[in-house]
């Protein structure tokens, strides 16, 4: 089968990547300008929450589309190699920053503690890598089972399971009788694939029935927009009234909002014939941007003349730009792709690209 990338995924991946950078930029600016009214900042943070879940959707979409009969021999080995090495390397780098943040100076014992937290518990920006690897393994185990089930049945069921799972950890407190319960309630529950099972199932069937999915979106786009607007209002309202206080991608109400954003972005992208170079650039470097951008966001302090808005815009642009530059330079060395992620190099064939390299970056 000729392996081609769906045009719409360039838009989806680029915009979701930028949404992640924007979310963290706003969080950093809120930290540096705590005296400001944070309502508007929180609003845009919540509207950016679709970023990481969309990455999960894309990852499964790709593997489902291009390996519909199961992953080939060596697939998981290759994926682990391209994902685990950057995961470990960046864990070492982020541990340096975490150590200085915790103590104000470098300390070997604290550094080792931060390294172990990052690698073993996914306690840093690249936590999604162990999640994606879980989903790859899950795909190899259940794709034949999913082929036999109607998406009309399994998609709503997976949504319900996902909502119940996330809602339980959102509204309950840690159970002291369970070992490491504080950690499980803090972050452990959402590193497990159960917290993302709806995106797994949705990505699987969207790829299997992509033409039908596109037609469905085109036919019902007005309804999809209304549902997305309603879900965004619900998302903001639940936070405003402190019903669910955490601004996080792991909230149950984000599931519907993200689904709507994915469909809207795909619909808009079908109306655009040529992919802008900017979108291709962000797409090609998206994995590296995801890994690196927080290093720059928290290294750039606001200048005296900046307010929260100008600071947010500045670190949003510079963190993405510096991530691209660093990834480009590091990928010049033979082992660079194992340090900061593999970077796409295609330039002109922007509508159709080979999948193998695309998959290795996520």
- Domain extents in the chain: 7-360
CB 32 within 8 Å of CB 306: no
Neighbours of 175 (CB within 10 A): 10
CB 158 within 8 Å of CB 201: yes
Q: What is the pLDDT of residue 190?
A: 87
* Residue keyed to tokens 């690196």: 292
Q: What is the pLDDT of residue 129?
A: 95
CB 312 within 8 Å of CB 59: no
> What is the rounded distance in angstroms from the CA atom of residue 45 to the CA atom of residue 26?
7
Q: What is the pLDDT of residue 178?
A: 74
pTM above 0.85, yes or no: yes
DSSP 10: H
CB 49 within 8 Å of CB 123: no
> What is the rounded distance in angstroms from the CA atom of residue 210 to the CA atom of residue 347?
25
Q: Give per-residue pLDDT as tens, 177-211.
A: 777 778 888 888 889 999 999 999 999 999 999 99
Q: What is the pLDDT of residue 345?
A: 65
C-alpha distances (whole Å) from 46 to each of 22, 35, 99, 198, 247 are 11, 20, 29, 20, 6
Q: For the chain, which residues score pLDDT lower than 70? A: 1-5, 345-362
Instruction: Based on DSSP, count helices (H) and strands (E) in the chain, helices before strands.
Output: 18, 0
Q: What is the pLDDT of residue 164?
A: 95
* Residue keyed to tokens 């593997």: 63
> What is the rounded distance in angstroms from the CA atom of residue 297 to the CA atom of residue 29?
9
b/e sequence 199-230, b meaning 16+ C-beta within 10 Å: bbbbbbbbbbebeebbeebeeeeeebeebbee
């Amino acid at each position: 089968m000729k392996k081609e990338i769906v045009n719409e995924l360039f838009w989806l991946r680029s915009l979701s990547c930028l949404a992640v950078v924007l979310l963290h930029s706003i969080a950093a600016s809120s930290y540096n300008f705590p005296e400001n009214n944070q309502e508007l900042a929180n609003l845009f943070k919540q509207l950016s929450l679709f970023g990481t879940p969309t990455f999960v959707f894309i990852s499964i979409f790709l593997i489902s589309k291009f390996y519909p009969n199961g992953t080939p021999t060596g697939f998981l080995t290759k994926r682990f190699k391209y994902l685990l090495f950057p995961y470990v390397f960046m864990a070492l780098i982020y541990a340096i920053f975490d150590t200085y943040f915790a103590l104000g100076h470098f300390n070997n014992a604290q550094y080792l503690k931060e390294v172990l937290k990052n690698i073993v518990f996914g306690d840093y920006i690249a936590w999604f890598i162990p999640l994606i690897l879980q989903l790859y393994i899950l795909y190899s185990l259940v794709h034949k089972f999913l082929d036999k089930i109607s998406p009309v049945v399994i998609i709503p069921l997976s949504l319900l399971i996902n909502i119940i799972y996330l809602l339980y950890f959102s509204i309950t407190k840690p159970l002291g009788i369970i070992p490491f319960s504080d950690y499980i309630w803090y972050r452990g529950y959402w590193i497990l694939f159960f917290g993302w099972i709806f995106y797994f199932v949705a990505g699987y069937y969207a790829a299997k029935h992509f033409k039908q999915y596109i037609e469905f979106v085109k036919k019902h786009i007005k309804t999809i927009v209304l549902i997305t607007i309603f879900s965004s209002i619900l998302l903001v309202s639940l936070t405003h009234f402190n019903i669910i206080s955490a601004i996080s991608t792991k909230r149950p109400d984000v599931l519907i909002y993200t689904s709507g954003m994915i469909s809207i972005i795909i619909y808009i992208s079908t109306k655009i014939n040529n992919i802008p170079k900017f979108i291709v650039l962000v797409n090609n470097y998206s994995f590296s941007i995801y890994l690196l951008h927080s290093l720059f966001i928290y290294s750039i302090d606001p200048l005296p003349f900046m307010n929260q808005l100008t600071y947010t815009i500045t670190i949003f642009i510079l963190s993405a730009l510096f991530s691209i530059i660093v990834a480009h330079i590091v990928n010049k060395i033979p082992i660079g792709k194992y340090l900061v992620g593999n970077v796409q190099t295609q330039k002109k064939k922007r509508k159709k690209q080979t999948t193998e390299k695309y998959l290795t970056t996520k």
